[in-house]
Amino acid sequence: MKLVVGLGNPGRKYQATRHNIGYEVLGNLARRFANGPAKSAFQGEVADAELGGQRALLLWPHTFMNRSGASVVLARDFYKLENSELLVVCDDFNLPLARLRARSKGSSGGQKGLEDIIRALGTDELARLRVGIGSPPEGWDPVNYVLGNFGKDEREEVELAVVRAADAVVVWAREGIGPCMNQYNV
C-alpha cells in the first residue's frame, strides 16, 4: 500500500490558492482513481484508490499546512507503512510555474508543510513531488503570495500541471521514485 499526501490548507478561504496545489493534485487523482468518496480520518480526509495497480491511500491533512506531520504520522502508523511507501505533493515557489520536481529525499526548501512532516517523521528520506507555483514578485510578502490565487493567465497552465503531477504520482506508485524523476524532472 502507498500513502500519497497532498498538502494544503482546509476551508473555502484557501481553495484554489497557490499553497493548495497539493490538494488539487489529490483531487485529480481521486476523480480518476478513487474507489469511493473521501472520509474523515487521521485529522484529514482520506480516499482509497488504485494507482497503477497499487492500492493507495490519498490523504488531505486538515491540520493546516504547518502542522501536516501529525496527520501523516497517524496514517502511516495506522497502516504500518514504511517511509519509502509515502509521497508528499506540495507547492514550491522556487520552481517556475507548472514545473514538476520529484525527489527521494532532501530538505524542505522552506515549504512549511513538508518541513513539519520531516520533523514528525524524524527523517528527510521521503519522496516528494513539488509543483512550481512561480516566484513572488519583487517586494511581495511570500506568505501573501502563496496564500493568493493564481492569475487568470496562469490557470490553464496550472490545470495542465495538476494533471501531469497526478500522472507522475501514478508512475511513482507503479515504478518508484527513480522512474518518476526520470520522466517528470525536465
Catalytic positions are: 19
Pick from 78, 80, 72, 62: which is nearest to 8 by CA?
A: 62
Q: For 49-64, b where at least 16 C-beta lie within 10 A, e where not — what string?
A: bebeeeebbbbbbbbb
Pick from 107, 65, 89: which is nearest to 171 by CA?
A: 89
Enter the DSSP assignment of 67. Answer: G
Pick from 136, 179, 155, 169: which is nearest to 58 by CA?
A: 169
Give the DSSP letter string of 25-38: HHHHHHHHHBSS--
Pick from 60, 46, 64: which is nearest to 9 by CA?
A: 64
CA–CA distance from 90 to each of 3, 7, 35, 36, 80 (Å)?
14, 5, 23, 24, 23
Pick from 90, 69, 71, 70: which is nearest to 20 by CA?
A: 90
